[in-house]
Amino acid sequence: MSAPMEISLQNTTDRDPSEQNGDVSEPAVPSPILTEDKVLVSVEVCLKPSSTARIEDVRSAVNRMLEKRSLSYVDGPIPVPPDDSFIVENVQRICICDTDEWVENHDILLFWQVKPVVHVFQLSEEGPCEEFSGDGQLSTFNEWILPAKEFDGMWDSLIYESGLKQRLLRYAASALLFTEKGVDPFLVSWNRIILLHGPPGTGKTSLCKALAQKLSIRFSSRYPQCQLVEVNAHSLFSKWFSESGKLVAKLFQKIQEMVEEENNLVFILIDEVESLAAARKAALSGSEPSDSIRVVNALLTQMDKLKSSPNVIILTTSNITAAIDIAFVDRADIKAYVGPPTLQARYEILRSCLKELLRTGILSNSQEGEHLTLPNYAGLKEKLSAPLIQDSQTPLDLCKQLLEAAEACEGLSGRSLRKLPFLAHAALASPYSCDPSKFLSTMVDTAKRERSEL
């Protein structure tokens, strides 16, 4: 069996999957590569919940709108044109995505350099459908229709060293494309199993869900229906389940039914797969009923069976790299380490928290009547290297304080970082309409306290 591929964060030259067969008309995941001298950029169009318009019609309308306008292409929302009643009536928002890799190296993209690839979708508001075992103790799995309202915005809120998210997206897209095109697995081998491993709280589960959501949007032309099944690995081994083997069989029977529908794209998320290895070990040492080993084996067998279905992607996470079942690691195609956030990621996470507190008025939004803006990390570095060229909207002292807070958070997980502003706010003496500078200094103290408790 071939060794899993460890994603390297540097020096990769991943290419757009659509280039494999020379088709560049509508790739699911554009890569910042020039095609006919143009850069392919994704434009995601979210329909209003009330819209009943045909996807095709909306796509054409947005394409026409983009042709008419002299936009500069940077990641983020673009205004819905008020004079286009069809778009106004049907579209909730239009967002430009994936330009960051390109923009980082080449500054800014102008409309004539870009070939937009428009993806139109509508969020499902159905919520999760939980499946309980017979005695109603623990749910064995949750099922979501994608793209789901609950995962909206998750992809953008996850911040990693540059390229990790894009690389995962392209690997998954390539895997789907290879299967779709019928590449012979005996000649070129690949699975559709992704394993994210690293310390707890680094966003692995969220990244899996966000990736599934992103792929459901990008592949909606090929797969109009998409589901995510979240399997609770712990529940499978719970002592309450003496019949776990049967549970696995039942679960996969359901998945098999979903997969048989060829317009369905199915994601299976198995969290904390280290519990499989633990169960097997415990069973071997005699401290657990042999039922556990049957469950692990049943799970692996079922996963192998799914390999032949082109429309399944299995996403797995583990908090302990060393303890993952070797049989499992071997099956994973892509094995990516997700570590604690770097200084740059910490700065960006805290910046996004601060922006949210300013937006909601928890922090006072004006500095002598001006609108306060906080530069991104690259912008901050520029400001620090040229301190004389400053503007009143981005006070240098405040930016330095934010950087200081990010530095003080070394070693904290993404999850702790996202909680920190709340803890800092709760520690304030006067929590109403607080000044950002005072807030940041409290946040530095809170970070130091949190770290000392690690």
Which of 26/150 has CB closer to ligand ADP?
Answer: 150
Question: Rounded to 10 degrees, what is the CA torsion of 149, 150, 156, 162?
Answer: -130
Q: Is 117 in the site for ligand ADP (CB under 6 A)?
A: no
Tokens standing for residue 453: 């408790």
Nearer to ligand ADP, 120 or 159 (CB): 159
**CA angle 108-41-60, nearest 5°?**
125
Q: Is position 162 an interface residue for ligand ADP (rule: CB under 6 A)?
A: no
Please check whether residue 111 is in contact with residue 78, taking contact to mean a CB–CB distance below 8 angstroms: no
Measured distance CA(399)–CA(366) in Å, rounded: 15
Stretch that binds ligand ADP, among 63-71, 199-207, 245-253, 390-398 (CB under 6 A): 199-207
Using the rule CB under 6 A, give the single segment among 63-71, 99-107, 200-208, 404-412 that binds ligand ADP. Answer: 200-208
- Of the listed pieces 17-25, 57-65, 151-159, 284-292, which binds ligand ADP according to CB under 6 A? 151-159
* DSSP conformation letters of 390-436: --TTS-HHHHHHHHHHHHHTTT--HHHHHHHHHHHHHT-SS-SSB-H
Nearer Cβ to ligand ADP (118/417) = 417
C-alpha distances in angstroms, 271 versus 163, 319, 420? Answer: 23, 9, 25
**386, amino acid identity:** A
What is the closest distance, in whole angstroms, from the C-beta atom of residue 199 to ligand ADP in the complex?
7
Does the footprint of ligand ADP cover residue 204 (CB under 6 A)? yes
Task: Determine if 157 is a binding residue for ligand ADP (CB under 6 A).
Answer: yes
- Dist. CA 288–CA 281, nearest whole Å: 9
CB of 229 to ligand ADP, least distance (A): 17
Q: Is 206 in the site for ligand ADP (CB under 6 A)?
A: yes
* Nearer to ligand ADP (CB atom), residue 375 or residue 414: 414
Size of site (CB under 6 A) for ligand ADP: 18
> Is residue 421 close enough to count as binding ligand ADP by CB under 6 A?
no
Asked if 32 interacts with ligand ADP (CB under 6 A), we say: no
Q: Which stretch binds ligand ADP (CB under 6 A): 49-57, 210-218, 322-330, 410-418?
A: 410-418
Q: Report the residue number whose CB is nearest to ligand ADP.
A: 414
| Closer of 27 and 414 to ligand ADP (Cβ) | 414
Per-residue DSSP letter, 193: E
Q: Which stretch binds ligand ADP (CB under 6 A): 154-162, 175-183, 391-399, 441-449?
A: 154-162
Q: Binding to ligand ADP by residue 414, rule CB under 6 A?
A: yes
Q: How far is the CB of 158 from ligand ADP (least distance, A)?
A: 4
342 binds ligand ADP (CB under 6 A): no
Cβ proximity of 218 and 316 under 8 Å: no
Q: How is the chain split among helix, strand and coil, in percent rounded to 5?
A: 45, 20, 35
Which tokens belong to 114? 């870009």
C-alpha to C-alpha distance for 169 and 160, rounded to whole angstroms? 14
Give which of 258, 252, 256 is closest to 270, Cα–Cα: 252
Interface ranges with ligand ADP (CB under 6 A): 157-160, 200-206, 317, 341, 345, 349, 414-415, 418
